[in-house]
Amino acid sequence: MTITHAPAPAPEAHAALPLDAPDHERVLITRGPRSGLTIIVAVHSTALGQALGGARVWQYPHWTDALADALRLSQAMTLKNAAAGLARGGGKSVVCIPAGETLDEARRHDAMLDLGDAVESLGGAYMTAEDVGTSAELMAVVHERTEHVCGLPAEQGGVGEPADATAAGVHAGILATLEHVTGSRDVAGRHFVIAGLGQVGGRLARALAAGGARLTVTDVFEGKRALADELGATWVDAADAHRVEADVFVPCGLGGVLTPEVVRELRVRAVVGAANNQLASREVAELLRERGIAWAPDFVVNAGGVVYLDLASTPGIGQDELDARIAGIGDTVGAVLREADATGSTTLEAAERLATARLDAAR
């Protein structure tokens, strides 16, 4: 069994439970009868269609941290799916591993059956998929209990995992951002700093190197040095990556990477990468604007995976249309960057306006 996203030592920046009442349509909190684990399914919005978002299996200090994560991530999926032009709402599910516990294969399998029952109980309001700590193989287990799951292994008739599509979408976003800040989409001779050489970052590194880009790369996992050597990239310590003078910083590790301190030290013209929830707080978007650094909002840039999962599972959609939709992420990124410049707003605000306009139109 492949776990696509190897659980990393530290979770993404987890928000505390919001003080304001959530505006989610439905939130299910249940103890899985087989696994004994807390399972949360948050359906933020079905305004555009059935909610779609991955299932995360992660260790949290307390189950309320898992709830906060599910609330925040499902809300972000509403924006991501709307900005990508999908007829999909936003949702997310989280299986909470209690602090200090690890899951053996049998309990992880049980957790997936429990998750399948939880998803099924929502009557089709939400469709799940793989995410951090899950995989296409585990989605096949979920499928034993519900039809509302996508991204099953290809050998079981599914569309598989979405990392290729995510990387293709981020690549399109990088080219659009490069054009915005330099006037050209040509990566040859341009300097990129890629932080995180996992499924998406590794693919991007290869694609950019093939285009003649100059690369500086890092990962908290030293074993990734081999890829750096293979591509002739310069390796930098993870803690120093954001200080490297370059054209574009490409965060492809975990979220929360753009803190005020990091942004003050950036020496690039643009930031565009796959990592979810890159901003440590909303204010950071303004700081990036003030520093004249073009930030391509993550939920626009990294939508290739969900576009793939949705459209590849839809009968009648061919490869050409799928490729065009993923490449279209570059057009959306370009439009967001131009709109932000034209209105003097942050790119975050511009992207949120685009997504909410689509949501409002559907209501």
Ligand X SMILES: NC(=O)c1ccc[n+]([C@@H]2O[C@H](COP(=O)([O-])OP(=O)(O)OC[C@H]3O[C@@H](n4cnc5c(N)ncnc54)[C@H](O)[C@@H]3O)[C@@H](O)[C@H]2O)c1
- Which residue among the candidates 5, 24, 72, 92 is catalytic per the annotation? 92
Strands 89-98 and 38-45: antiparallel
Q: Is 43 annotated as a binding residue?
A: no
C-beta closer to ligand X: residue 274 or 296: 274
Q: Is 132 annotated as a binding residue?
A: no
Rounded to a whole number of angstroms, the minimum distance from the CB of residue 160 to ligand X is 11
Q: Is 54 annotated as a binding residue?
A: no
Instruction: Please state, in angstroms and as integers, the Cα–Cα distance from residue 160 to each residue in 124, 132, 171, following that order.
Output: 21, 15, 20
Binding site for ligand X (CB under 6 A): 5-6, 8, 162-163, 166, 195-201, 218-221, 224, 238, 252-255, 274-276, 302, 305
Residue nearest to ligand X (CB): 198
C-beta closer to ligand X: residue 6 or 99: 6
Instruction: Please state, in angstroms and as integers, the Cα–Cα distance from residue 172 to each residue in 79, 137, 152, 294, following that order.
Output: 19, 29, 26, 15
Q: What amino acid occupies position 160? A: G
Rounded to a whole number of angstroms, the minimum distance from the CB of residue 282 to ligand X is 18
Q: Is 198 annotated as a binding residue?
A: yes
C-beta closer to ligand X: residue 6 or 188: 6
Burial of 223 (0-12, 13-18, 19+ CB in 10 A): exposed
- The C-alpha atoms of residue 309 and residue 318 are separated, in whole angstroms, by 13
Angle (CA) 31 34 40, round 5°: 30
- Does the annotation mark 92 as catalytic? yes
Q: What amino acid occupies position 8? A: A
Q: Is 199 annotated as a binding residue?
A: yes
Instruction: Give the H/E segment covering residue 294.
Output: strand 294-295
What are the residue numbers of the active site? 92
Which residues are annotated binding-site positions? 196-201
Which residues are annotated binding-site positions for NAD(+)? 196-201
